[in-house]
Structures are given as C-alpha cells and as structure tokens.
Structure 1
Amino acid sequence: MKIFLSIIILFIGLQAKAQQPTLLPQFTFYKLDGKAFSNKDIKQGKKNLLILFDCTCEHCQRETALLNKNYASFKNVNIYMITLDEAYIIPQFFNSYAKGLNTKPNVTVLQDRNHTFIPTFLPTKYPAMFLYSATGKLQLYNSGDGGIKKLLTVVNK
C-alpha cells in the first residue's frame, strides 16, 4: 500500500511540474469534413491561437462569445478551435454562443478524435488558450476564464 501511495504522490508531483510546450508541438487533428489537419498545415507568417474548448463548458461559451465580440482584434491571427466533442454538436455551439465565428476566413474548427491535445499541450482547465508567435514560440497560455482579455493585450501590440 505504501508503494502504491508513493507512486500516486510522485505522479501528482510530476504533473504539477509539467509545463505547456514553449514551441508549437507536432499534432494531427481533424476538420469537420474528416480531413486530417496537422501542425504542417498551419498558415505561416501570423500568430497562431489554439483554443481547446468543450461545447457544454460555460467558461468556453463565455470566452468564445467574447472572442467573437472582439473578432476585429484577432483578424490577423490564425485561430484554431479544437474540441473533443462530436461533430453534430459543434455548429450548435457556434450558433448559440458565437454566431458566424466558425465561418471567418482565419478560423478553423478541429476535432481531437484521438484525444492527443491534452497530453501534448498539457492544459489545466477549459478553455485552454495557447498563443504562438509566427515563429512558433509560446507567447501566452491561459486556462479557464479571462483568456480573451489577456490575449487582447498581446494581439493589440
């Protein structure tokens, strides 16, 4: 029993020290049409915002609505909205909380079908937002509420 408890404490300690990747990691997610989308498909020359969201998460709903309201500040940022949700519920989410955001030219909605986002990017809460520079360096990480407000200060510089 002591060994089991020690292993659990060690695991929790390692998780607490885990940090988000400072360089944009390799990944493969899927567009809603089923086509694969990887880090190699990211449009070059702009900042890249990756947002992990859940359609039923109230924080995600509020932050996505705020992103939509402040879209003008993000029009020069590639926005990748990633979810583990099933494809049928995703359009309902956008229609309810951020109508039209998912059809903007710089917004790509992706599904994490293989559940690789969390072990790759190590977010702590929904929504998790990762802003990477055009060269792929992490500029801002936020999890939970308040991410869009923080991002506005960085993207408006």
Structure 2
Amino acid sequence: MKLKRKYIFILLLLPLVFSSCKSSQQTIVKATEEIPYFTFYRLDHHRFVKDDFDTERIKFILYFNSECDHCQKQARWLKKEMRENPTAFKDLEMIFISFEEMSMIASFRDKYQFNQSNITFLQDSRLTFADKFGVGSFPSILIYSKDSKLIKKFEGETKVEEILPFIK
C-alpha cells in the first residue's frame, strides 16, 4: 500500500516538474530574443555593458574557450574568411567573450590575429553569459540586429557559409 501511494505521489509531481522546466526554458528563450543587460570587462579592465554596443551595427557575439578545439577551429574559419573576404565582417560589431583569465583571452586574440578595430574581447568573470544569453556549448555565435533583436543563434562549430546570410 505504501509503495502504491509513493508511485501516485510521484505521478502527481511529474506534471509540476515538467511545467516548471518548460517555464524556465521559455523565460530563457524570451530573455535572449533581445540582448540582455550585462556587465563584462574589456582586456584593459574597463567595463562593457549593453549600452556600449554600437546602435548602427549588427552585433556578432562569439562565446568561446581558448582551450576548446571546436573554438579554435571556429577561430581559424573566421580568420580565413576575413582574409579571403575582408568586407564580409567589416561592418559588424564583433564581440568575443570568454570566462577565462584575461591573459588567456589575449593569447587567443593574438594567436588568431583578431586585431581589427571592430572586434572587442571581453571577460565574463562572473560566469553569467551562458545563462543570460541562453547558450550551453562552446563555441556559440549569436547575431543581433542593429536594434539588439536576436537574428540567429548557432551552437557548436558553424561553417562560415552558414553564418554569412545572417550578417548582411
């Protein structure tokens, strides 16, 4: 009898658990439809917040880890496209974000020679990016319109050919 009651109790709780998970997922999706408020830090230790974005440019955000093989491959693909097609990314505001130490982020920047004036490297020292932007893997690319509305989100390695239609 006690076992039967236990199963009934579990069965009654399941819909509640699933509905709260669904609600949480919907909240994350809704939050990432527009760039959320945040505070990250430039490599010169100055703050960078949502209001620092250029309102005249499409925003390209790459969430990465410098030791991640997939992130390194993504960086090589991006750099190759920038060399072969210099105009493809020049009108974007490109933000590269990692939670790593600033020295590791700077090493990644230098290794791939991402020194263009439209690229900013940021540190997520409080580990808030993944939750605020609704991503769960490295690398992740988010493309936002000039008015900060989400255009497209890519998670995992993404060929540049798949990205290009969304940044024009």
Q: Does 2:148 match 1:136?
A: yes
Residue in structure 1 matching 2:107, options 77, 92, 116:
92
Distance 1:34 1:140, change over 3 A: same
Q: Secondary structure at the match of 1:108?
A: strand
Counterpart code for 1:43:
D
Alignment counterpart, residue 77 of structure 1, candidates 87, 92, 95: 92
TM (normalized to structure 1)? Answer: 0.84
Say if 1:84 and 1:113, in contact at 8 Å, map to a contact too.
Answer: yes
Identity %: 26
Alignment pair present for 1:23 and 2:34 = yes
Q: Deviation at 1:90? A: 1.8
Q: Which amino acid aligns with 1:74?
A: F
**Corresponding residue to 2:136 among 120, 124, 134:** 124
Which residue is 1:40 aligned to?
51
Describe the SS at the equivalent of 2:151. strand
Q: 1:28 to 1:148 in 2, by over 3 A?
A: farther
Tell me how large the CA RMSD over aligned residues is. 2.3
Once residues 78 and 117 of structure 1 are traced to their aligned partners in structure 2, the CA distance between those partners, rounded to angstroms, is 18
Distance 2:100 2:155 in 1: 18
**1:72-98, Cα deviation, whole Å (9 max, x unpaired):** 2111100000000101112222333x2
**2:73 corresponds to which residue?**
62
Structure 1 gap segments, 5+ residues each: none
- Report which of the two structures shows the higher radius of gyration computed on alpha carbons: 2
Q: Distance in 2 between matches of 1:31 and 1:87?
A: 9
Equivalent residue, structure 1, for 2:3: none
Change (3 A) 1:147 1:128: farther
Are the aligned partners of 2:77 and 2:159 in contact in 1 as well (CA < 8 Å)? no
Q: So what's the TM-score if we normalise by structure 2? A: 0.79
